[in-house]
Structure 1
């Protein structure tokens, strides 16, 4: 996509988001007649996720050449994502302890009932369940349910395997390289529909909440909680930017180039659905193919800064409502479980609410407490998805230098081998 077209779509998405907020605010439930437009846009994006992730990760891993070289970039990427996730949780815990948003808030019977229903419907995963989810016995079922973590694990292993089988493997690599290019072209076409899709998604979400007056009445009841989450997400986004600025030397231009992905993340409330656009924006900015194909898909499945931060704040908020004191040990347990829960969370709307059950169970908090969060979760979920996507984008920028250094080293080794062959 040309730069001119990219900027035009960016402005139209921003306009669609603003108009969607206005339409949902004033028309309320009447705006639900256009809900099908948002669903159609989401389906179009989801349609590209599985083939794009498989093609991008397999070709990205294969481009590293010798499978032994996968360890360094892979290990550094996971270390970076782990550190930023832990940073997000710490930011959330500091603010929630300072602001104390749950003190003085009363849990209504309706909210308790809603939370209890969610807990019974979704059930709770354990840490063991998350570990077991790394390897799927049925990849087709995982793909159908958009369980991306086992697919990424398979793609990494498969990509490493085909680098070891000579010419037969080279033919497979060329196939996935071509598939990746074709999928990126398809994503470019879908993006022309993005402004209308974002408008419909934002408008209908606010409309389902009852319109502007009903939403503001809800926020008034737990305004300190909403403020705490929003402030923490803002601080985390700024910290990610500063880390990226320091480690990759990319500034505001990168943020501008990623804006289409960030606005789409706000509209769709799904980091997985936004992944194709994130990859397109990173590629247009000039990041290396290795960074785009390997780091971003990995980040979209294991790096959920916004989700981890939200779960830490929400757990403490519920504890404060019930008057339960959580000490250093319990908050340390929240750090561990929120990290694992964020890794295990699907990149779909409000997936963090479901994985919250892991965190609450770990520190002995009642699952019914989730009910008070549901009324504003659809709104906060959009902002934490933006931070999730921004965290992935910053990770790709930071790791880009490592990826390019490895690529230059590999090229130098090839030239050295050819020179030695010529001299022999």
Structure 2
């Protein structure tokens, strides 16, 4: 008896895709309504946090079992683990290429706009003082991870390699450390494909668990607009109550504009161009099909929490094959951080420009910028395995070029908002990757 296999597509992706429906529209309305409520009634909006946290926890609750079941199901669906070689190589090549392109875009935009030049030195000094507590906590995490060694590119690379493996599988599940879970799932399912009839029962169980979890995700999507309304309203309400929305103007406007411009170029030009070149899909239609996932990523500020919805949208709305979504998207949510890498490169140079206001002798040369590019790329890939990922990885980048870590205080007032945009770009990049890698499977459908 042959190996259990998941269903594969029998028609081109565009014909398989279902209409996006009203889900995306409802989420857009929920986000707009939430921002309006947070602006008019900020203190009331803050109390909606409970509803938002319940929705977020429901998503996070299924992440670990879904990742393991979906990756195993995807491998079992191949029938022969050796068929994973080409799609796996394509996925890794895609992740690295798009991350490098994102960093390059960030460096180009920030050098053209040069935010932070001419900033009032008093603002820089004040920001350093306010950031001291955050930096002390994050620095402790860096020192703990470095185990007393000097933080360097070599150490970062070593940590990235070690992140692939774990000495405690249950511990990785508890900490939602997905990368070693994915490695284990690939190896375990690969072994099942070589065991013949003996593996039939457990393989069927894995596929059934995966199908049940996806049905649960579809149920969650029915309440997604309400959960997203609560999440966005409470977060924006808190920012408005603390007068942090006022910080979006003035000195930080140039910095925010730079990061958003870079993210827009990557999400609206680079990724759609890659999608069209490799799949001949209509990029704009694909964006609409992935709309619910992208908006959920914006609302939750977590590509990992958004993973279940990204998988559902890619398969059901965009028509990406199950074998690709189940393998590519869990891996992408862990290591494919285009938006984060772009943001860190742009933020580091903005901070360097601001630092020059209090230390005119400081000069960020070409070598320093290349160091920022390499460090941002490596640190972004490793972000998922580090507590307070955004702050800590940015501190690693600043440390690499000798900038005072307390200068991170300059961007803290708006980091919560930019985090949502870069997470949305991360989620969209993952889905584009799944569509591109889908074309690399050798057993192509013959029905045209």
TM-score surpassing 0.5?
Answer: yes
1:20 corresponding residue in structure 2: 34
Q: Is 1:117 the counterpart of 2:150 in the alignment?
A: no
Q: Distance in 2 between matches of 1:179 and 1:82?
A: 31
Matches within 5 A, 1:346-357: 346=384, 351-357=389-395
For residue 212 of structure 1, report the CA deviation from its aligned partner.
9.5
1:305 corresponding residue in structure 2: 338
1:279 corresponding residue in structure 2: 311
Residue 262 of structure 1: which of 294, 309, 315 is its match? 294
1:290 corresponding residue in structure 2: 323
C-alpha contact 2:386 2:392 (8 A) present in aligned 1 = no
Q: Is 1:381 the counterpart of 2:440 in the alignment?
A: no
Flag the 1:230–1:266 CA change in 2: closer, same or farther, 3 A.
same
Matches within 5 A, 1:24-173: 24-105=38-119, 106=121, 107-122=123-138, 123-124=141-142, 125=145, 126-127=155-156, 128-173=158-203
1:249 corresponding residue in structure 2: 280
2:408 corresponding residue in structure 1: 370
2:210 corresponding residue in structure 1: 180
1:413 corresponding residue in structure 2: none
For residue 161 of structure 1, report the CA deviation from its aligned partner.
2.1
Q: Is 1:321 the counterpart of 2:354 in the alignment?
A: yes
Q: Distance in 1 between matches of 2:210 and 2:438?
A: 19
1:273-307 per-residue CA deviation (whole Å, 9 max, x = no partner) reads 11111110111122111111001111111101100
Flag the 1:319–1:109 CA change in 2: closer, same or farther, 3 A.
closer
> With CA pairs under 8 Å and 6+ residues apart, which has the higher RCO, 1 or 2?
2
Flag the 1:359–1:170 CA change in 2: closer, same or farther, 3 A.
farther
For residue 362 of structure 1, report the CA deviation from its aligned partner.
1.7
Unaligned 5+ runs, structure 1: 410-424
C-alpha contact 2:124 2:354 (8 A) present in aligned 1 = no
For residue 9 of structure 1, report the CA deviation from its aligned partner.
2.2
Name the count of aligned residue pairs: 406
1:220 corresponding residue in structure 2: 250
For residue 109 of structure 1, report the CA deviation from its aligned partner.
4.3
1:372-396 per-residue CA deviation (whole Å, 9 max, x = no partner) reads 1110011101110110001001101
C-alpha contact 1:54 1:155 (8 A) present in aligned 2 = yes
Q: Distance in 1 between matches of 2:208 and 2:114?
A: 53
Flag the 1:62–1:364 CA change in 2: closer, same or farther, 3 A.
farther
C-alpha contact 1:64 1:407 (8 A) present in aligned 2 = no
1:412 corresponding residue in structure 2: none
For the aligned residue pairs, the C-alpha RMSD in angstroms reads 2.1
Matches within 5 A, 1:389-408: 389-403=427-441, 405-406=442-443
Specify which structure has the higher proportion of helix: 1
Q: Distance in 2 between matches of 1:386 and 1:277?
A: 12
1:107-152 per-residue CA deviation (whole Å, 9 max, x = no partner) reads 4444213433223212325503333222111222222222212211
Instruction: State the SS of the aligned residue for 1:104.
Output: coil
1:420 corresponding residue in structure 2: none
Unaligned 5+ runs, structure 2: 1-16, 146-154, 357-361
C-alpha contact 1:270 1:349 (8 A) present in aligned 2 = no
